[in-house]
Amino acid sequence: MVKSAKLTPMMEQYQKVKDQYKDAFLFYRLGDFYEMFNDDAVKGAQILELTLTARNKNSSNPIPMCGIPHKAVESYINTLVDKGYKVAICEQMEDPRVAKGMVKRAVTQLLTPGTKTETGAENAKNNNYLTALEYDKDSKKYGFAYAELSTGELKTSVLSNVDTLINEVMSLQTKEIIVDDNVSEDDINTFNKLGILVSYQSDINIEDDMNNLTNNLINSLEKKTAELLITYIIKTQKRSLSHMKAAESYRPTEFLKLDHNSQYNLELNKNIRTNKKSGSLLWLLDETKTAMGGRKLKTWLDRPLIVKKQIIQRQNAVQELLDHYYERNEISDILVKVYDLERLAGKVSFGSVNGRDLIQLQSSLEQIPKLRYEIASMDATSFNSIYDALDPVDDVAQMINDSIIDEPPISVTDGDLIKDGYNKTLDDYRDAMNNGKKWIAELENKERNATGISNLKIGYNHVFGYYIEVSKANLNKLPEDRYERKQTLTNAERFSTPELKEKEKLIIEAQEKSKTLEYAIFSKVRENVKKSIKRLQKLATAVSTLDVLQSFAVISENYRLVKPSLNDNHDLEIIDGRHPVVEKVMGHQSYVPNNVKMDPDTNVLLITGPNMSGKSTYMRQLALAVIMTQIGCFVAAKSAQMPIFDKIFTRIGAADDLISGESTFMVEMKESNEAIQNATENSLILFDEIGRGTATYDGMALAQSIIEYVHNNIHAKTLFSTHYHELTELETTLHHLTNVHVGAVEKNGELVFLHKVKKGAADKSYGIHVAKLAGLPDKLLSRADNILETLENKDNDNDKVMNIQTSPVAKDETKNDEEEHQLSLFNDDNPKNKKQNVADIKIINEIKRMDLMSKTPMEIMNAVYKWKQKIEK
């Protein structure tokens, strides 16, 4: 870096600003360009594909630089912010033409991944959350807050542990988190691994007009975290934040708990294969007509309800819309004409709203009386609160209608924005301009006649003002006493006359005063709209709620969904249930529906059947039915009744955790442990192929012990799919477990999947048949058949080996010879080695003495590992 003593005054000014924003790209305004210098230029040119040049190229210390036209800057800023960078906008604070000395400059806004408000049409239905974190060492709890800057949403909570914290951060899909010095390096490293930008804010400094945002927070940790977040927003935005809503406290336990793994496994928001919305539950449910309705739908999907009364209120509203077909269609058509009231209110607050935005606001407000009429026509008590909240804010609509032209320009400073007749002074200026332009046209005709030059013309530009242009071939026809040369072109000369100068002064003065007055009028209209922001936000909440409810009604009708009934006795019965997303993709005729029946005495369904037969789909469709029910939607079934669940845990699919570097099996065990440690009798657990990530007998032992532990200790509704057919024997000893299987038949040596779930256990896994369907070579498959036959014959000799004791403690430790001989499988078929046999007997005795019901799956896994090591020795 060049020493500041050698820098020019401009570069000294640049460096002083840059030193305040070291972690951001500094866009430094120079005339019509934003310039980047030094390291910013080198890195920025590479990322944005700009031409890298240098300032003072011929000096011994050239300064790297690159520039962006100010009119095109938005797309470049978005590119950097979307890639996780910060951008500081440094503007000229005075007109260079009148500045004395160096033009004053200052940063007017710091744009960051979490404070981005311009989302574009493709992301209009997505929230962009900025989060903040505070750690309290005494209580060992986290204060957590998040805000959506474009809509003004502000929420706070206290989280008990780091797992809950990560779950909230992942569910919100936050791109930036604010921390202070109390947050540990371990937590910060976790956020970095998740690709979340960590920003530091050590001090808290809330302006007087923002204090009211946290006044209703009782918990001191929540309040401190919210104030940390607000301070950062004030520091970065440097503009009005009057649209920010008062902080609302929430608890994750107030909603159905779905950790981010379950959201991912169930494909609630994104398709696992494409990582896009298409193919997810959100994709199916989204028939919303407004951007704010789309965002609310996603919020409801992320936080399903657990209060029966609230669920029924939503269900009743959906039913009313289904019962009133014509009114619902009218409501849908009206909502299409409603723009994003939440983000329009934010733009008004920021001062970034333009004339077209105000016309959109007016048009939206004009739809509200129509919505009220349709709701009143239904005469449904379910919509009373929404009806009351549909305030048309007609005074704002009328003010915009009176002042702003129907098709205003994007710019608010170039005029042609305010209607004629709205302001008398403005009308006078416009009259002067119109008459002046008429006079200019008359002068042009007069000069043509006087000079005899038929192509003489009078024009205008911002540099030279009005001019008379004459081609060089006609210069000899001009009178010498009146024409004063202003500009020379290749084929023409431009002149002025005393008359033209006089009229030019009057016209330009009227133009400038007109533009200034128009902007002043527009600013006053904007400030008056600003006074109604809270009313607009309340209206937006009602409209978005109505939008989601009509969306539920539309998809319920289109996809034959039914209203589920809720009970308090742990009874679950779904008749002809379907996975709605799979059915939409496959088509209704191709999908095979299935029942899920778990009465109050049935807690575990043990599911067997071949791969690709539909076990995972069967499990997922139950989870989706629960989620759809508890967001107030109807479900894909012929009929459904179910209890209200407090949590859903899933262990579906097999993938390594690339963030932490853990194996598939470790991820499997951690997710299983998460369910076992936190599930209650009111939870839903979905375990798919637990134990497949390790050796066969290790996996089988773990699978059985997990089933027994869940059955005997947790009593949660659990679906457990497995290929370990030996586990189906558990039905005889675990009285709240039922075997079911997904049917498949062999026809002419070919496997045919029935996709139908039936009672009882599957007779075989059909693994080689599935491999054949996948197209493996015949020679390979034939060899696999031979190996399978050998293994099955061997297994028949040891058919009791995995009959692990299901009672807590073995009743009789005296073993007969037949029982002792079972350990031949554990010593690798080497019964001649007597020393090895003695060691194996000790291990068998340890197994039989172990109280399985008192052990966690992780403890059992560790024990199995130790036994394996002893055997190998």
Tell me whether residue 691 is annotated as binding.
no
Residue 173 CA to residue 459 CA, distance in Å, equals 56
Report the DSSP pairing between strands 63-69 and 492-496.
unpaired
- Mention every residue, 6+ apart, whose C-beta is less than 8 A from residue 111: 77, 81, 86, 87, 88, 89, 236
Strands (E), 599-736: 604-608, 639-643, 647-651, 684-688, 717-721
Strands (E), 127-207: 129-136, 141-148, 153-159, 176-179, 197-200
Fold classified for 124-254: Nucleotidyltransferase; domain 5 (3.30.420)
pTM for the full predicted model? 0.82
Residue 344: Cβ-neighbour burial (10 angstroms; 0-12, 13-18, 19+):
buried
Looking at residue 661, what is its pLDDT? Answer: 45
> How many of the other CB atoms lie within 10 Å of CB of 637?
25
Q: And the tokens for 32?
A: 């019509």
Residue 733 CA to residue 749 CA, distance in Å, equals 36
Residue 131 CA to residue 165 CA, distance in Å, equals 11
> Collapsing DSSP states into helix, strand and coil, what is residue 217?
coil
Which residue carries 């997904």 as its tokens?
742
Long-range contact set of residues 13-20: C-beta below 8 Å, sequence gap at least 24: 13/102, 13/105, 17/88, 17/90, 17/105, 17/106, 17/107, 20/107
Tell me whether residue 44 is annotated as binding.
no
Strand partners, 739: 606
**How far apart, in Å, are the Cα atoms of 455 and each of 444, 446, 473?**
10, 12, 11
The answer to whether 717 and 684 have CB atoms below 8 angstroms apart is yes
Residue 143 Ramachandran class (φ > 0 left, ψ -120 to 50 alpha, else beta): beta
Tell me whether residue 479 is annotated as binding.
no
Domain 424-527 architecture:
Orthogonal Bundle (1.10)
Q: And the tokens for 216?
A: 């209703």
Tell me whether residue 760 is annotated as binding.
no
> How many of the other CB atoms lie within 10 Å of CB of 115?
22
Tell me whether residue 612 is annotated as binding.
yes
Report which secondary-structure segment, H or E, holds 550. Answer: helix 533-558
Mean pLDDT per 10-residue interval, the chain, length 873 residues: 64 94 95 94 95 82 91 92 95 84 91 88 89 94 96 95 92 94 91 92 81 91 95 91 93 92 90 91 97 97 96 97 96 97 94 94 97 95 95 96 95 91 91 84 91 91 87 88 88 90 84 91 96 96 98 97 96 96 84 94 92 85 97 97 96 51 69 88 92 70 90 95 87 94 71 79 63 67 68 56 40 38 41 55 70 62 71 67
Boundaries of every domain in the chain: 4-111, 124-254, 256-285+559-775, 286-393+536-558, 424-527, 794-873
Which of 733, 726, 694, 708 lies closest to 851 in space, CA to CA? 708
The answer to whether 371 and 543 have CB atoms below 8 angstroms apart is yes
Residue 182: Cβ-neighbour burial (10 angstroms; 0-12, 13-18, 19+):
middle
φ, ψ of residue 271 in degrees (nearest 5): -75, 130
Question: What is the domain class of 4-111 according to CATH?
Answer: alpha beta
Looking at residue 660, what is its pLDDT? Answer: 46
Tell me whether residue 461 is annotated as binding.
no
- Residue type at position 31: G
Looking at residue 809, what is its pLDDT? Answer: 37
Three-state secondary structure along 96-113?
CCCCCCCCCEEEEEEECC
Kindly provide the b/e burial profile for residues 748-774, where b requires at least 16 CB atoms within 10 angstroms of the residue's own CB.
eeebebebbbeeebbeebbebbbebee
Residue 438 CA to residue 25 CA, distance in Å, equals 50
Residue 442 CA to residue 101 CA, distance in Å, equals 44
Tell me whether residue 807 is annotated as binding.
no
> How many of the other CB atoms lie within 10 Å of CB of 735?
11
Report the DSSP pairing between strands 594-598 and 684-688.
unpaired
Residue 575 CA to residue 597 CA, distance in Å, equals 8
> Collapsing DSSP states into helix, strand and coil, what is residue 746?
strand
Tell me whether residue 609 is annotated as binding.
yes
Q: Give the gyration radius of the chain's Cα atoms.
A: 36
Q: What is the DSSP letter of 196?
A: P
Which of 92, 123, 121 lies closest to 10 in space, CA to CA? 92
Residue 622: Cβ-neighbour burial (10 angstroms; 0-12, 13-18, 19+):
buried
Pick the CATH number of 286-393+536-558 from 1.20.1630.10, 1.10.1420.10, 3.40.50.620, 1.50.10.10: 1.10.1420.10
Edge-to-edge strand ranges of the sheet holding 639-643: 565-567, 639-643, 572-577, 594-598
Strands (E), 20-166: 24-30, 33-37, 53-55, 63-69, 86-92, 105-111, 129-136, 141-148, 153-159
> How many of the other CB atoms lie within 10 Å of CB of 845?
13
Kindly provide the b/e burial profile for residues 572-584, where b requires at least 16 CB atoms within 10 angstroms of the residue's own CB.
bbbeebbbbbbbb
The answer to whether the 256-285+559-775 and 286-393+536-558 domains have the same CATH topology is no
Q: And the tokens for 441?
A: 């046209």
Residue 150 CA to residue 581 CA, distance in Å, equals 31
The answer to whether 625 and 648 have CB atoms below 8 angstroms apart is no
Which residue carries 């533009």 as its tokens?
515
Strand partners, 567: 643
CATH code: domain 256-285+559-775 is 3.40.50.300
